Amino acid sequence: MEFALIREKLDQAVALLNEHDLDLWLTFVRETSLTADPGLALVAGLDMTWHSAFLVSRGGERVAIVGRYDAENVRALGAYTEVIGYDQSLRPALRETIERLAPRAIAVNYSESDPAADGLTHGLWLTLRETLAGTPYADRLVSAENFIASLRGRKSPIELHRLRRAVRITEKIFAIVDGFLRPGLTEAQIAARMHAERERLGLGTAWDAPYCPVVNAGPDSPAGHVMPGACKTARGQLLHIDFGVRRDGFCSDLQRNWYFLARGERHAPDDVRAAWEACWAALDAGAAALRPGAAGWEVDAAARAALVRAGFPEYQHALGHQLGRVAHDGATLLGPQWDRYGRSPFGRVEAGQVYTLELGTYVTRRGYIGLEEDVLVTEAGIEWLSKPQRKLWLA
């Protein structure tokens, strides 16, 4: 199945080179078990030992230049029109191939804002420049940032199928946890129960296991990328969980919330319900703005303004990030124009991308409410990949 996925992405790459008016995309790597280029997963899905070059042209040629002992594995992919194995030096074959293809520009994997497009190390950049010295191509290296944003972001059929499966199994784990909850459980106990279920199903975590899930029980628990601790669920308080799994190489990322009814209560109190409704109004405002062509910051601004209008403080993070092979999958971010995000909020939303939509607020003496859903951008708007938690769950 991985072979089929690589072929699917390389077919997509050829089409996108034409769309982006690029002649050639080059992924240049070495010893990838130590320094992995995120682009390598798109073109090979295998670790490389020696210097290796993967070239995709807008005319449909796909050339892999790899060490002799990696060549057979690359041929087995059935994805390349030519696989060149070498012994002593990659340089002659790489130079000859580029001269034959004669590109106006060579897109390589560097970016100031997108870690998913910034895999070319400085050392390899120097090696590439030296290899092409004396040719016009040494000065034709350009960033593949926008091209990779489209290639990694626009999910292929196999990728989207895997994402849907990851979301569905995450929702099932939340349902199992729902039946386990009771007052007096520590965050660590809840996390352990979720890990046990995840491991039983043979799933990985979408981010570092010590804080996947993040569990916030009550008002004393700090929200964020925090490991579950000793805070306990209690009547009259909120429980918030942020959790995702890795299944078949693709991730989910969802947040769910409970309120533990106090004695005599039949529903959540007014302060909790007001915060819940405000958060959902803000999330829906962001969802309505999430359309192809929108800038990431514009989508965030719609949600942020709605939450502030309802009398709640701004959340101190982005409304959403792309989701795929990792939980934070790079490229366009649905975030504010803050320096820490670089150019990512200025990227344009594209059909086929998958995003999280997430925001939240604290409720005094109750705890944290955090919403997060996974959505697919379509030509008409969005499709909810997760079943939205429109109602606060009561425990």
Q: Is 243 helix (H, G, I), strand (E, B) or coil?
A: strand
CATH number 3.90.230.10 given to 157-394? yes
Distance, CA of 63 to CA of 10 (rounded, Å): 11
Q: Which CATH class is domain 2-153?
A: alpha beta
Q: Which two tokens stand for residue 213?
A: 């899930």
Q: Residues 144-200: pLDDT tens digits?
A: 999 999 999 999 999 999 999 999 999 999 999 999 999 999 999 999 999 999 999
Enter the pTM of the model: 0.95
Q: Residues 243-293: pLDDT tens digits?
A: 999 999 999 999 999 999 999 999 999 999 999 999 999 999 999 999 999
Phi, psi angles (nearest 5°) of residue 355: -125, 155
Residue pair 53/106 in contact by the 8 Å Cβ criterion: no
Instruction: Determine the longest span between alpha carbons in the chain, in angstroms.
Output: 82
Q: Which two tokens stand for residue 242?
A: 């942020």
Distance, CA of 71 to CA of 86 (rounded, Å): 9
Distance, CA of 322 to CA of 330 (rounded, Å): 6
Choose among 92, 51, 45, 85: nearest CA to 69.
85
H-helix segments, the chain: 2-19, 40-43, 68-76, 91-101, 122-131, 145-153, 157-180, 187-200, 270-289, 296-309
Total Cβ atoms within 10 A of residue 104: 12
Q: Which two tokens stand for residue 26?
A: 């080059």
Sequence spans of domains, the chain: 2-153, 157-394
The two beta strands, 367-378 and 381-384, are: antiparallel
pLDDT by position in tens, the chain (length 395)? 589 999 999 999 999 999 999 999 999 999 999 999 999 999 999 999 999 999 999 999 999 999 999 999 999 999 999 999 999 999 999 999 999 999 999 999 999 999 999 999 999 999 999 999 999 999 999 999 999 999 999 999 999 999 999 999 999 999 999 999 999 999 999 999 999 999 999 999 999 999 999 999 999 999 888 999 999 999 999 999 999 999 999 999 999 999 999 999 999 999 999 999 999 999 999 999 999 999 999 999 999 999 999 999 999 999 999 999 999 999 999 999 999 999 999 999 999 999 999 999 999 999 999 999 999 999 999 999 999 999 999 99
